[in-house]
Amino acid sequence: MKWKMISLFLVPLALMTVAFTFINLAAAFYFLSADGDPKLVSEKSVREFQRYIAFANGKPMVVPQGQTLLKKEKAWIQILDPYGTEVYSLNKPASVPVHYTPGEIVHYHRYDGSIEGTSIYVSWVKQNGVKWSYVIGFSYEKIAKYTVYFSPAKISGFWKEGILAVLGLTLLMVLTIGYFSSRKLTRPLVTIIQGIQVLARGQYEVRYQPKGLYRDVYQSLNQLSDALQENERQRARLEKMREEWVTNLSHDIKTPLASIKGYSEVLANPDYEITPDERQKYVDIILGKTQYMEKLLDDLRLTYQLKNNVLPLQKKEGNIVDVVREVVIDVLNTPRYAEREIEFMTDTEYVGFTFDPRFLTRAFTNLIYNAVIHNSPDTRIVIRITEQKEKIGIEVEDNGKGMTAEDVESLFTRYYRGTSTNEQHQGSGLGMAIAKQIIEAHQGKIDVMSQVGKGTNIYVSFLKITDSTKNTKA
C-alpha cells in the first residue's frame, strides 16, 4: 500500500517531466528564432529583398514599398558598387563605413555579424551583368547573429543522445525529489489508513499525536476512538442489563407459573380432597399470579410503544394537581404503605395542562412508588408542585438512602433494577423507563439528583403552552 501511494505521486511527476521537456524544447526553438516579419529575418528573405531595389539612370535605389518595409522593421540598407563603395543608403547609422574590401564584407557577414550594434546581412542584385552588393542591418533588439561551430556527425545523433540524456537526467532528478517528498506526504496517510483499519478491528486504545499537516485528522481519529470506546462500553453495559433483565423476567414469570401449575394440578387431581375454602384460596392465588404476569407483559409492550412513538395518547386540558394528589392518596390507601410519611405541597390548587390522564397517572405512580419501595419506612417523602410563567414543576424528594452515580445514570434505562432496596421487588425493571418515556411524550423533562445517605430528588418539568407558544408553533 505504501508503494502504491508513492506511485500515485511519482507517475504524474514523470508524465509532467516528459511533457515539460518537450514544451521547453519547443519554447526554446520558438524564442531563439528571429521575431518579426519573415520578409526580413532570414538570409533567404534578405536575398529576396532585391525585388525592392530599382535602377534609375544606372544608379540603384530602394522603391517606396521597400522603404516602408525597412522603416517598419527599424532596419537600414546600404548599396555598394562592384568595388565595395557605397552608392546608396537609407537610415544608415553615421558610423557605418562607406567602403568595404571583399574580406571585410565576408568578415562582417559570416564571422563578426555586426556593425555598430546592428546585425547585418549581405546579398547582391544583378543589373546588366553587373553585381551590386547591399547590406541590411537590424537592431540587436530585433535580431542577433552568433557564430556556432558544431560537428555534423554529432548533430545527427543529437535527438537520440541529447534529448534522451536531458530527459533521463530530468526524470532522475524529479523522481528522486518526488520520492523523498512523497514519502513524507504518504507516511502520515499510511498511518491514518492503518489507524482506521485498527478501529475497524475493534481496537480503540491506539492514540495519535496531533502534529504536522494532518493534525486535524489525527485529532479526529482520537475523537472517533474515544466515541467508539464509549459506544462499546454503553453497548456492553446495555447488553449486561438486557441479560439481567431477561434473567429476572424469566425468574419473575417462572415463579408465578410454578405456583399456577402447582395449584392447578391440585385442583385437577381427583384423588385430592379439598374444601370449598381451600379451592377458593387456590383459585385466588392462580388469578393473582396470572394478573401479575399479565402486568409484566403489558409493561413490556408499553415501553416498546413509547420507544417507537406509537402510543395513542388522548390528551385533554386538565388539572395536573388533581392527578398527582390522587396518586399520593392511592399510595397511602395501600395497606402496606399506609404509615409512610408522604407530604403533598402545591402553590395553587389548579395548574392547567394538556395531557393524557391515564398515562400521566401511570408515570407519577411509578415515580412515587419508586421513592416508597426503595427506602426505609421512616423515610420522609415530599411531593411538591410549582407553577411558573412558562413552566410547571413537580418534585418527588426523599431523605432516604440515595443512589450512586452509576444507579442515577441507569435509573431510566429499560431492563434496569436498582439494588438499593432491602425488600424483594418483583417489578419488571421497566417502571422508571416507562415513567420517563411518558413524560417525554408530553414534551416534558425529568432530572435526578441523588447522594448516597442523603436522599434523592426527582424533578419533572413541563413547558406550558401559552398563546405566544401556540403562535410560534403555528
Q: Binning pLDDT at 50, 70 and 90, where does residue 232 land?
A: confident
Which region among 162-166, 342-346, 436-440, 467-471 has the lowest average model confidence (pLDDT)? 467-471
**Other residues' Cβ atoms within 10 Å of the Cβ of residue 54:** 14
Integer angstrom CA distances of residue 356 from 296, 362, 395: 22, 10, 19
Q: How far apart are the first and last CA of the chain?
A: 57
**Would you place residue 8 in the very low, low, confident or very high pLDDT band (cuts 50, 70, 90)?**
low
Which three three-digit cell numbers place residue 21?
521537456
Does the pLDDT of residue 227 top 80, yes or no?
yes
C-alpha span between 43 and 143 (Å, rounded): 12
Highest-confidence segment of 162-176, 181-195, 336-350, 403-417: 336-350
**High-pLDDT (> 70) share of the chain, %:** 76
Res 192: pLDDT: 76
Cβ atoms of 317 and 356 within 8 Å: the answer is no
Average pLDDT for residues 219-223, to the nearest whole number? 84
Cell numbers for 218, please give them: 489525527
Tens digits of per-residue pLDDT, 85-120?
Answer: 999 999 888 888 899 888 888 887 776 666 767 888
Average pLDDT score, the chain = 79
Per residue in 148-203, pLDDT (tens digit) is 666 666 656 665 666 677 667 777 777 777 666 666 666 777 777 777 888 787 77
User: Does the structure show a pLDDT above 60 at 37?
Assistant: no
Q: Which of 39-53, 222-236, 295-309 has the highest mean pLDDT?
A: 222-236
Grid cell in block for residue 19: 511533457
pLDDT greater than 50 at residue 471: no
pLDDT band at 32 (very low <50, low <70, confident <90, very high): low
Burial class of residue 323 in the structure, from the number of CB atoms within 10 Å of its CB (0-12 exposed, 13-18 middle, 19+ buried): buried
pLDDT digits (tens, 9 = 90+) for 145-154: 766 666 666 6
State how far Cα 298 lies from the chain centre: 44
307: pLDDT strictly greater than 80: no
